[in-house]
Structures are given as C-alpha cells and as structure tokens.
C-alpha cells in the first residue's frame, strides 16, 4: 500500500501498450468520454476493455455501449461492502485490465480492494489536493474563498484522496463565479488533465518516494 517511506519505480512502459483500462463510474461519464476520445485519437496509448458502474441508471453506461464497449453493472444492494467489491474485482480481472480508472465512481474503495490492484488505480478529483478532499470539492473551494481551484489526478491509496499526485491543473476563481460555474470550468480541466496524465503514467519510468510521484526528467533522455 502506498504510504510514507514506500519506494516504487514503474517499468518503461508501465504496462505493455496499448494498456487495457477498466473505467468505473456512477453517473454521466464525462471523464470516461474524455478517456475514450483520447484512446480513439491515439493521444492515450490504451484501450478501454470494461466500463463498470454501481448504478444501473448511470448515463455513462449508455455512452459506453454506444461506442461498442463492454459495459456492466454491479449494484451493491443489501450485501456487504466486501462482497460487492469482490464482484467488482472479479469483473476487472476477468476483463484483463491493467489499470483501473475512477471516473466519477461515487464509492470509497476499501484498503483491501486498493491492495488487490496496488498502484494500478487512478482517480481524478476536482480540487488541488491535498486541499478539499471528499465530496463537493468545488463547492468546498468556492465557499472557502480560494482564488485558485483546480483538478488533480492521483494514484489511489488506502486513504480518501490521499494517494501520490501525478498531475494537477489550476483553475482561477473569477469575480463573477458561483460554485456551479467554477465546477463547470474545473470539469473542463479534468477532461484535459486525466488523459494527458494517464498517458504520462503509461509511458513509465516514474517513481514513488514516500508520497511524492516523480516523472523522469526529459533532459536526461535528451542527453
């Protein structure tokens, strides 16, 4: 489990390319669409092998099926968290996914699930972490009165939005903003940041030292 004092170095590339992605979502799936578009354009050296939701009514499932992608539902119902996560994990493994991409998946994953896919779960969060973790981060930022908000892509660890940060994009808070306008601009940043950061992760060669994720220095490759 990623924690202070843990070191890790990703191979080059991180997984054989194109990498196989499982995308977990609970709603409209706009970040899933950003990843899918990047896969189709070649900007992201990956292909989506599974779209999985905990909600049958999630609009992202219909969007995935319209693209001809495998889309499945694993609702929790009255079962235990462990039993539900076992079914999620089995689906992901059966699809042969290399990386699990959270795209608006509205359940906190247990330490056991994260350990099952250690350093293979990636999330995008609508704040400049470590500020404003958890739900309604955009509204938290707006109500706190910050002048700069933004988005973060990070590896998922046992905490809530505490894993090593892989990429961030700042979004200025304008004088005419309200929480909804700010959230819409942060979402646009997420759509840019998530595919670009995931592509950098898939390229490999990065390392984790404690909680710090370091990408290789491009100047060393030029030398």
> What's the CA gap between 152 and 196, in Å, rounded?
12
Q: What are 153's strand-pairing partners?
A: 124, 167
Q: Are 18 and 46 in contact (CB under 8 A)?
A: yes
| CB neighbourhood size of 180 (10 A) | 10
Where would I find the H helices in the chain?
30-41, 59-66, 81-94, 111-116, 137-144, 179-203, 218-222
Say whether 84 is catalytic.
no
Residue 64 has φ and ψ, to the nearest 5°, of -65, -45
Question: Helices (H), strands (E): how many in the chain?
Answer: 7, 10
Please identify which of the residues 125, 144, 154, 191 carries the catalytic annotation: 125
Q: Are 4 and 210 in contact (CB under 8 A)?
A: yes
Catalytic positions: 125
């Amino acid at each position: 489990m990623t924690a202070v004092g843990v070191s890790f170095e990703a191979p080059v590339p991180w997984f054989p390319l194109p990498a196989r992605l499982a995308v977990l979502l609970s709603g409209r799936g706009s970040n899933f669409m950003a990843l899918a578009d990047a896969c189709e354009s070649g900007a992201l050296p990956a292909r989506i092998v599974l779209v999985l939701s905990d909600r049958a009514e999630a609009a992202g499932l219909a969007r995935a099926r319209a693209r001809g992608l495998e889309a499945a539902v694993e609702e929790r119902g009255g079962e235990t968290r462990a039993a539900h996560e076992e079914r999620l994990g089995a689906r992901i493994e059966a699809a042969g996914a290399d990386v699990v991409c959270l795209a608006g998946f509205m359940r906190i994953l247990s330490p056991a699930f994260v350990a099952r896919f250690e350093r293979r779960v990636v999330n995008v969060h609508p704040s400049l972490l470590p500020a404003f973790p958890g739900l309604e981060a955009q509204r938290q930022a707006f109500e706190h009165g910050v002048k700069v908000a933004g988005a973060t892509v990070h590896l998922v660890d046992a905490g809530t939005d505490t894993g090593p940060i892989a990429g961030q994009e700042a979004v200025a808070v304008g004088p005419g903003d309200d929480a909804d306008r700010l959230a819409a601009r942060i979402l646009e940043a997420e759509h840019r940041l998530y595919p670009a950061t995931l592509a950098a992760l898939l390229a490999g060669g990065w390392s984790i030292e404690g909680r710090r994720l370091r990408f290789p220095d491009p100047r060393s490759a030029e030398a």
